[in-house]
Amino acid sequence: MARAQGDGIVVLQSALIEAHHVPVPNANPGEENVATRIELNVNGKMQKIEAEPDMPLLYALRNDLGMNDPHFGCGLAQCGACTVLLNGNAVRSCALPVRAVGAGKVTTLTGIGTPEKPHKVQAAFIEEQVPQCGYCLNGWIMTTVALLDKNPRPTDSQIRDALTGLKCRCGTHVSILRAVKRAAQA
């Protein structure tokens, strides 16, 4: 699995894969993966797909379930555009095999709020006018939700540590930090 320097998400993701490992048919080296029926709990709804167990969760969400979030960024768990919550932990879905999800609860950006009633983090990002191109926002928002769920009043240092490894090519980092602080105060 690829590692982003200073990125604790990849370490957590490796632990989650080990904890949720489910033996899969034909998982021996040199043998083909066989598509099997997989059930996923996504945004509180059970979904069934036919997929190879090693297929990235990102592909299942976008291709099989037709979701337009999360985004494909780097495919190496280094940018964060594909971030989802798995049992409340921010994970990079581009590098997480669907077999590793097991009975876990996957939450995507559309699962935390709606345009009519946005999550407090979504509202803070709007109020601080963070979006420019918006491609990376999925990762920043989902990681912030996970951070604030575990630590409702993080320090500046804790915020920076939690967001390490996320990429924004538009350079809205200062606005992002303001939005995280606003959400923590909400």
In a structure prediction context, what are the per-residue pLDDT tens digits for the chain, which is 186 residues long?
A: 343 434 444 444 444 444 443 333 344 555 567 899 999 999 999 999 999 999 999 999 999 999 999 999 999 999 999 999 999 999 999 999 999 999 999 999 999 999 999 999 999 999 999 999 999 999 999 999 999 999 999 999 999 999 999 999 999 999 999 999 999 999
Partners of 85 in the β-ladder: 90, 107
* Structural tokens at position 129: 């006018």
DSSP designation for 86: E
| Fold match flag (8-111 vs 120-185) | no
pTM for the full predicted model: 0.83
Nearest alpha-carbon partner for 162 in 147, 181, 149 = 147
> In the chain, what are the domain boundaries?
8-111, 120-185
Beta bridge partners, 47, equal 40
CATH topology of domain 120-185: DNA polymerase; domain 1 (1.10.150)
Class of domain 8-111: alpha beta
